[in-house]
A and B are shown apart, each in its own frame.
Chain A
Amino acid sequence: MTLAHPERTEPERRPLGDIALVDLLDRLLGAGVVLAGDVVISLAGVDLVQVRLHALITSVRADMVGTSARAEASHDG
Chain B
Amino acid sequence: MGRAPVSSDRGGSAPGAPRRPRNIVVWGSALCLIAFISASVATLPFSSRWYNVQALGRAVRHRPAAAPVVDIAAYARASGATAATVPEPTAAPMTRLAHGASSWLGHDDLGRSLLFRLLPGYLVSLLVGLSAALIAVIVGTTWGAVAGLAGGRVDLAMMRIVDLLYGLPYVLMVIVLKVALSQPLTQLFAGRTRLAEIVVLFAAIGGMSWLTMARVVRGQVLSLRAQGFVEAARAAGAGPWHILRRHILPNLVGPIAVYATLVVPQAILQESFLSFLGIGIQQPTPSLGRLAADGVEAVNTFVGYWWLIVYPCAALALTLLALNFLGDRLRDALDPRSVA
Q: Do A and B bind each other?
A: no
Residues of A within 8 A of B (CB): none
What residues make up the interface of B, taking CB atoms closer than 8 Å to A?
none
